[in-house]
Every structure is written in structure tokens, then in C-alpha cells.
Amino acid sequence: MPVLYADIIVDISAGNLDRVFQYRIPSHLNGIADIGSQVMIPFGKSNRMIRGFIVNMTSRPDYDESKIKDIDQVINNELAMESQLIRLAWQIRKVYGGTMNQALKTVIPVKRQVKAQVNRYYSLTQDEGMLDAYEKRLGSDRRYKTRMELIRRLKTEGTFSREELLNVCHVSPSVVKALVSDGILVENVTRQYRRPMGQLMDTGQPVVLSPAQSQVVREICEDEQHRIHLIHGITGSGKTEIYMELIAEVVARGRQAIVLIPEISLSLQTVSRFYRRFGDRISVMNSRLSDGEKYDQYLRAKRGEVDIVVGPRSALFMPFERLGMIIIDEEHDGAYKSENTPRFHARDVAAWRARMSGAKLILGSATPSLESYARALAGMYALHTLNVRARAGSILPNVSVVDLREEFRQNNKKIFSRKLRALMEDALKRGEQIILFLNRRGYAGFVSCRSCGHVFKCRHCEVSMTAHRGGRLKCHYCGYEEPLPRTCPECGSPYVAAFGMGTQKVEGMIADEFPQARVLRLDRDSTSRKDSMDDILNRFRRHEADILVGTQMIVKGHDFPDVTVVGILAADLSMFSNDYMAAERTFQLLTQAAGRCGRDEKPGQVVIQTYAPEHYSIRCAASQDYGTFYRQEMSYRRLLSYPPVVHMLAVLAVGADEGRVQACITALAGAVRDFCREQGFEDMVIVGPADASVSKGKDVYRKVFYVKNKKYPWLIAAREFMEQHLRASSFSRDVGLQFDMDPMSMY
Ligand code: ADP
Ligand code: ZN
Ligand code: ZN
């Protein structure tokens, strides 16, 4: 048996992960010591025994063999949180690539003190003799006028805060310092810790679960066979209530729960429903927390002060020792995919963590991702379906599809179709509210014909091509190019152009058409200030505006009782984004957007404006028909070999020198092709290389190719090969590689 060496961290916190120490695994500990194991090691000159964790194992030592000490013993404590998180990191690295260090930094929080808010207050010394003497010394010297004034005011008013001293009394910081050191001013310091707790909002009476909801709860609790459950329930079918019931059950058994919700949907309204039910046994994580505040939540969880954490992707790594359930709401959401190396998907990592801790994983969505639904149909996940809205009297809205080509032919070149305009007028007259939704998700400047709706697509890949300078159309998937025609090949119309529209432009159009309406806008620009998303949504809910205009941010999990009209201005923007998930994303967004209205007793009207009214993603969203959409979309994926029918690994090369990036990616594609042949990996398909469509920053070039196969382990092997290959090549100095396993995000 070969000698093994272990890299060990002794202080497990993100700041110290780079400091690993190498030890030998003595033969009697072979097979016992493993990734994540807690070990005792002799440390430093004195060889005192300290505790550490194994984060890596190798057969070749990095140091002089004679200087490496032996691990003393392995403490196999399966429950140790650190061990679990390290094993999770190992798994993440194995599947998604990158270094162990990057993986560890993903699962282990930054150790940071909570910054206390420090308040300083000042009052005069109690020693009157000293004060008298001081005042005499200042005398009538004009230079000391502010000090005299300050003492006079303090005598009558008692105490000033530091801010008052500086800003109201106009005393300089150096004078304050001098007065304190002379003993004339007495400084009092108080520290306040902010603990993020939701402000409780009254969101109505607690509900009694409907028979359909109770049945799902029962099925999940009693199922001994499946670890993973998919709840497919239309918007408003009461999934959130089901989650809370499940959590209550988990907590009653003395175990803990993690609830993942996309950041965008983590509005105060959603969060307060959880607070109302579970009080301060709950911890809410969001990006508004500082590192210190996040670490404070982490410690609370570790000390067992909370049972439930609600948060985005990163909440998955809460150090719960008795984890009983992980819930992923809106499981189809793209935000569950990390954009940084390692580019993990929270759904996969959640499944691993659930298996490690014997917990159940619950996925919920009105529009499940194709891969989850496919697994559910295959019996790998238990499937639970809810077809009706939970609240009595709440019905699905009336959806109509407007053909924008027809509007164009009727000489209506405005962004509002005649139908939408009429509905908006009526709603405004009745004092009801309107949401206008601009579908910009994944929008990448596709080119289409305004009069017949023809979209220019790559003849090889069926994804939309993008216009580039010099009048060329490019496919960002396979690299195919062709000149941009002057007229439409379908109908001969000269109105061929890149499609584009912004929320600001829409706001301007509303002002022209409905000058009396009050408008709020919600998009990335208007929410750059961290808290303002809640502000805008709350103002709209309080009816401070009649119309809300926004991007995909407004379709997520917000409840607006007075909204009776939802207009989707350009449904096509996401439909022709240049990747294979475009139709799926369009269907999801439209279905969710349509679900925003008619949530109360007032019936809703949804208008979908599109150039492709016959496209199945639009038709199925209009009829809220997930089943038909799923079948159509799967046959497209099968035909062109896209996930989830096959697995797909995107390989992205990034660098400042375009020639080098091109040379690197070409060489790599060749090398991996040879590798797969040698390994006997059959049916490995390599597509590309091509220019990646989104170039971040000006002088960075990004090229991409894709490797496709049905066997996930083969793709992992190919990725490991490429990582090593690059490291050994001269490209490693100036070209960076990123890997992305499907579900692939867009480039
Ligand atoms: P989803 O998460 O599926 O969109 P929610 O759980 O948010 O659905 O429920 C939608 C609305 O219906 C909410 O306002 C909720 O309070 C209400 N609701 C859910 N379940 C019930 C129930 N059993 N009885 C009455 N109202 C309910
Ligand atoms: Zn045309
Ligand atoms: Zn192509």
C-alpha cells in the first residue's frame, strides 16, 4: 500500500484556509483517515497535540520526507459539522472543478467580528474645582471661544453625543480629544449589536391546510423510499404553507431545516410569513448582511440557537448538526447556479448534503426545471402535484396572446397593443393596479423581422444568432457566421433589426400615453441601493402608484391584491436568447408573470405581446399547461442532444491576448478529443470553439466550447484531464479556464 500524505487545516475559517500542514498517514490509520476526518497532530517545535481536519490526500509529499510528521490519531466523529462541510467541499471540487481551496471557501464562512455600532457620549467632569480652574485658565482668550461655549451648553444640557459635539457645537475632533485627556470631558462608550430580525408584518390569519395540501405533507412525511420530492404546484397553490407545515414537523422531531429562496424573492413579505410562524428560532440570510452579521448567524446555528435558516444559495452551508430537511423553493431558478468557480448548482449540492445528514430534500416550483421533472417522471424523485389555487375564490387569470406582427400591419408601432391599452385604461378608471413586465432575461441582441417575426437562427444549432459590427450574424454556440441580410428571407420586408427595449423607455411611453398614471420602476438600476427593492414593492402594495414597470425581478413571489392587469410587453426577448434553455426560461417567466395577478377575489387579465404567438413556450404559458410544454421541449432537446437528455460541460478560456486565448482553446479541444478516444469514451461530442457572447470588461477575450455526453463521470474525467493539461502547458500563464457543468448558464 502506498504511503499517503494528508493536508490538514488547524484553524478552520475562510481566512486561514491557505495555511495547510502536511502530515503522513501512518499505515495503521490507512483507510481510517479520510477527507474531512478530524485528527490529532503533533504541532510546532514543542509537538503539542492539536486538533485539525484533513482537506486533501496525496501519494507524493510536497516537502522533504524526513521533515513530515505522523498523524497521531483519527477521531471519527461522523457528526462533526466541519467534517461534513469539508466532505461537501471535496464533492463540489470533484464535480465542478477548481481547487480544494476554492471549494472550501464556498462552504466555510468568512470569520468576522460583528461590527458593533459604537456610540460615544460626552458630559462634564463632576470635579467642580477642576472645572472652575480650567475655565479661569481659558479666561477671556478669544481663541478658546468654542470651548467656553461648549462648557456653558453642557452645564445646562448635560450630555452630547459625539455627532452633536462635532456637528451642532462645531468642536473639532482634536479639541474633543484634548478636553477628554485633560479630564474636563468624560467620555461614555456604548456598543450596539445589530441582529437582523425581520420586522413583523401582519400578513393575515394563520391558514388551515386544504385537503390537497395536507395530502402532500402526509405523502412526504410517510414516504420512506424517496429522499427527494418535487412539488409541482401552480402559483398560489399554497406551496409555501406546505413548506412551513413540513418544517414544523421537522423541528418537532428536534431536527433542523434549511429553506432556499432566490434572493429576488426574499422580500419582507415572504420572510415575515416565516417569522410569524417560527419566531426567533429562525435566521434569515441575505446579501444585505455584512460578513460579520453572516458569521454571527453561522455561530447562532452552530450553538443550536436557531432551527431554521431561510436564505439564498449560500444558506445551504449552515452548520446544522441535525439537519432534517432542505427545501428549495422555485427550484428552476437560475440564481441557484453559482457564477464563480466552483460553479456549483445548489440543487445538486443540496442533494449531497441531504444524503450525508439523512435529511429530505423538497423541491418546489410552478414550472419545474426540465431535469427535475424528468427525474421525477423516471421515479428518482417523488412527484406531488397541486392544480388549484389554495385561497378560496382565487382563480387563475384570463390570458390573451397578442400578435405584434398584426399590430404592425395595422400600423400600430407603439409598444402597447390595442388590447393592452384598452385593459389598462379600464383598470386605471376603476382605480386598480397594473404590472408591465419587460422580459430581458438572457437577452442578447437577437435579430428579427418586425413584420413577419422571422428570427435569424443558426442553421446548425437552432439557437438565435447575434448581430455584430460589420453587419455579421454570429452563433455563439458553434461559431458559425453569416452576413446580415438587408431584407427578410421569409417575407422580403426591409424592417430587419436587432430587438431591444429598456424599462426607462417604457416609462417614457407610459408618460406619453397615460399622463395621469403614477409609475414606479423596478430593475437593476433602480434597486442598486440594497434596501430599495422592498421599498418599491411596499410602495406599490400601498397603492402609491398605479403602474409598476420592471424586469424579471417583479415576477417573483410577490403578492399584490389590487393588480388586475399584467402586460408582458416583449415576450420574445428571452425566447431568442442564444442558448438552448431560451424556450424553457421564456415559459417559466411568462407562467410566473401571469401568476402575479388575480391572486385575490378580483379576476385578472394577462396580455402577452409577441411576434411568435404560435410558439409552444408562449401557447403553453398562456394556458398554464406545463405537461405539454415539457413534452415539446424534451423532444427538441432530444433532437439536438441538449441537457437533460445528455450532460454538457462548457469549457471557457479567458485572457487578455486574443491570439493566445484562441490558440489555447483550439489546442485544448484537440487534446480532449484525443483523450476521449484513448479512454474509449464513445459518443463524446465536441461543439465549437466559438466566441463567448458576453465579454466581461473591455480587454478580456472569452472563447468557449462544449463537450456533450450521457455519462456524467466521463465529463468529469474530461474536465480533470483538461485542468492537468492546461497546468502543464505554457498557456497556464496567460489564459484562465472556467468549467461549467449543466444546467449550463449562458455565456
Ligand atoms: P405558493 O407558494 O404556491 O405560490 P402560497 O403558499 O404563497 O402559494 O399561497 C398563496 C396564497 O394563498 C397566500 O396568500 C396564502 O396565504 C394563501 N393560502 C395558502 N394556503 C391556504 C389555505 N389552506 N387556506 C387559505 N389560504 C391559503
Ligand atoms: Zn419577415
Ligand atoms: Zn451554431
Determine the average pLDDT of the residues in 272-290. Answer: 84
| CATH no. of 647-741 | 3.30.70.600
**Would you tell me the crossing angle of helices 239-252 and 268-278 to the nearest 10 degrees?**
30
Ligand number nearest to the C-alpha of 494: 2
How far is C-alpha 584 from the geometric centre of its chain's CA atoms?
18
pLDDT value, residue 16: 63
Ligand number nearest to the C-alpha of 481: 3
Grid cell of 647 as nine digits: 450532460
Q: How far apart are CA 525 and CA 3, in angstroms?
A: 57
Ligand number nearest to the C-alpha of 466: 3
pLDDT in tens, 574-624: 666 667 888 998 899 888 887 776 655 667 899 999 888 999 999 999 988
Which atom of ligand 1 lies nearest, measured to the CA of 394? 12
pLDDT value, residue 204: 59
Distance 588 CA to ligand 3 centre (A): 24
Q: Predicted confidence band at 217 (pLDDT cuts at 50, 70, 90)? A: very high
Which atom of ligand 1 lies nearest, measured to the CA of 366? 3
Grid cell of 456 as nine digits: 435569424
Residue 376: HSE in the Cβ half-sphere, 13 Å Cα cutoff: 22
pLDDT in tens, 122-137: 988 888 888 888 888 8
pLDDT in tens, 67-97: 899 999 888 766 678 888 988 998 998 888 8
Angle at the Cα of 484 from the Cα atoms of 489 and 488, rounded to 5 degrees: 20
pLDDT value, residue 289: 79
Report the 10 Å Cβ neighbour count for 677. 11
Q: Predicted confidence band at 744 (pLDDT cuts at 50, 70, 90)? A: very low
Task: List, in order, residues 6 or more apart from 128 with CB less than 8 Å away.
Answer: none
User: What protein residues have CB closer than 5 angstroms to ion ligand 3?
Assistant: 458, 460-461, 475, 477-478, 480
Report in angstroms the alpha-carbon separations of 282 from 285, 336, 719.
10, 21, 40
Name the residue with higher pLDDT: 3 or 592.
592
Q: Is the CB of 649 under 6 A from ligand 1?
A: no
Q: How far apart are CA 365 and CA 278, in angstroms?
A: 23
Strand-strand pairing, 433-437 and 547-550: parallel
- CATH class for the region spanning 4-106: alpha beta
Q: How far apart are CA 331 and CA 335, in angstroms?
A: 9
**Do the domains 398-445+499-637 and 203-386 match in fold?**
yes
| Domain locations in the chain as residue ranges | 4-106, 118-191, 203-386, 398-445+499-637, 647-741
| CATH no. of 203-386 | 3.40.50.300
pLDDT in tens, 370-422: 999 999 999 999 999 998 887 776 677 888 999 988 888 888 777 899 999 99
Name the CATH architecture for the domain at 398-445+499-637. 3-Layer(aba) Sandwich (3.40)
Q: Is the CB of 207 under 6 A from ligand 1?
A: yes
241, 247, 277, 601: residue to mutate for ligand 1 pocket, most atoms within 8 A of CB: 241
Ligand number nearest to the C-alpha of 367: 1
pLDDT value, residue 13: 64
pLDDT in tens, 449-504: 878 888 888 887 777 787 776 778 887 777 788 888 888 888 888 888 776 666 77
Task: List, in order, residues 6 or more apart from 318 with CB less than 8 Å away.
Answer: 258, 283, 285, 297, 298, 301, 309
391, 394, 556: residue to mutate for ligand 1 pocket, most atoms within 8 A of CB: 391
Q: Is the CB of 236 under 6 A from ligand 1?
A: yes
Annotated binding residues for Zn(2+), written as ranges, equal 449, 452, 458, 461, 475, 478, 488, 491
pLDDT of 195 over the 60 cut: no
Distance 469 CA to ligand 3 centre (A): 18
Grid cell of 190 as nine digits: 456604548
**Would you tell me the crossing angle of helices 658-679 and 712-727 to the nearest 10 degrees?**
130
Least confident of 169-173, 470-474, 511-515: 470-474
